[in-house]
Structure 1
Amino acid sequence: MSSIMTNASAMTALQTLNATNKNLATTQSRISTGFRVAEASDNAAYWSIATTMRSDHKALSTVQDSLGLGASKVDTAYTGMQKAIDTVNEIKVKLVAANGASAADKEKIDVEVKALQGQLKSYADAATFSGANWLSVDTTSGHTTAGTFNDVKIVSAFNRSAAGTASLSTIDIKVQDIKLYDAFAGATGANDGILDATRLGTTGARSATAQVPTAGAAPAAGDTYSVSSLSVKDHSDAQITQQLAVVEGALKEMTTAATNLGAAKSRIDLQKTFTSSLMDSIERGIGQLVDADMNKESTRLQALQVQQQLGIQALSIANGNSQSILSLFR
């Protein structure tokens, strides 16, 4: 039946053309933005997952910055510790030279020892990065227990559980075990710095009770010394031997402290590498969910453009069918 009121062919052609235009608009949007899921309306589930992953990626970027800052602080402390170890070894050499030396020579050696002690304090005070100094500290206030330095926590990871709960992991630096000086007035040998702690001359172990030896006298069982203030001037050879034991005790602790700092630095470097790889993996995962396949979209675009042209042609033909009715009335 031919009708001038209802053109079924034109309506079919128009619906097809509208669908083609809609698909063409979607493809053009994907090509221009690079995303096949740019909004929640495109795919709510994928958009939600990708948004959460992007947020986690930003958090990991901050973790990477925290690790870099922490590595710099550890490097600074390690450098200061290494220089301090070298200087304490120099003091050890001076003590060996003073053993058996004359009083005049001991006085000269003492001047050198005092200079080295001053250099030790200088190294510790200068080992500061971004306001943090782990070698020369003051635990008078600002810490859970006066005299004890709180552990330093370096954020090392951002975690998200299967339930979606976010949490942070840290690398803890036990500054209490690596500090060289502590300005806390009430400190004892147990929680003083490595260099200003009082140590027994007999064993070199820390002592909570200080007992100042009488210069030149026979060593007493409870005599104590500290690396930061020991003196060879007017002291007997037996007392200098005790001082050697004190220096050895401090060197042992300093070596352990340097080892701990080195281990922390190694762990931070490993975590930085892992975090960088994890960030790359998350980026790839986001891409798999929301990125458009440009090869596929370019091919689809060409096909839709042809379909659009054919749709326009079909609609034109359908609209021309009504004109043929006029010939019936000629």
Structure 2
Amino acid sequence: MNIQVSHKGQAADQAAGTIVAGLPMPEFKRITVEPISGACGCEISGVDLRAPLDDETLAEVMKAFEHFLVIVFRDQDLTPEQHKAFTRYFGPITELPQAPTYGEHQDMQEVRREAHEPENVVPSFEHFHTDSPFLLQPPLCVVMRALEVPKFGGDTAFSNGYLVYEHLSDAMKELLDGLEVVYSGKEIWARNEKLPPEKRLRLRESHGFSEDELENIHPAVRVHPVTGRKALFATTAYFKRFVGWTEAESQALLGYLQSLAQHLHYHCRVKWKKDTLIVWDNRFLLHRGVHDFKYERRHLIRTTVMGERPIGPKGPRKD
């Protein structure tokens, strides 16, 4: 494995108290880490993901993941099995009921838009979102790699849910700390069937999930199980309502919260290149694809890591 030592400037940044992603910049000795923006995201170099990682290098990769929430590796020409092996450092791989699978790999998903297809074929949603929040244990993270990308455009953008929450007023934090959200994936297939063929999403045709598994209640504010840091966990994708609120009341508050996630000072944006691999924290980040390209193919493959049941400010939910 080709390991490079990080820039000496990183240690100086930490000593000087440089803040990035809302916290002091960590020090890295085994890998090179370059922040993408002041809000979240970094590029990591000096690591070959085709081979197993030694303990020290893995520890620094995980440190970067926890701090920046989005970590980017370039020029990683992996086989599907190497992709899965790297994914398992983050946790067990899980399936998703709605996401199309990749070839014979039932434990991998694909995000694919052919050159002739409309933008809506990819269920990327028009707003920042978190993946599959309707599951009892929504994904911890997504590990995605580019097979084919357009010459221009097709980036993925991210919004830091920690920063969105931390910039709220104390009164709004207090309100949200006590709220829960009903998330449901039950109706996505039925709604899709009602659309004209040219407007339908590309969804998985069948799955082994029960109806009960496709709807769950989660806190509107999610707490990191180790650090205790809080992030907003209320987004439009699969949202039904806040528990105890009417639909009109719920949509009014949700619209305001969704507007906050659009602010550029919470964002980073990653440009895909062939064999770029990205890992993002699905618990404390929001993301969206940017479909600003036409008449070109975009093909990404991904694995999904099972997460814990979301914990709110009042602790684990008691059913």
Tell me whether the two structures share a fold, i.e. TM-score over 0.5.
Answer: no
- Structure with more relative contact order (C-alpha pairs < 8 Å, separation 6 or more): 2
Higher percent of residues as strand: 2
- Please classify the TM superposition score into its range, dividing by the shorter chain length: under 0.3
Higher percent of residues as helix: 1
Give TM-score, length-normalised by structure 2: 0.21
Q: Which has the larger radius of gyration?
A: 1
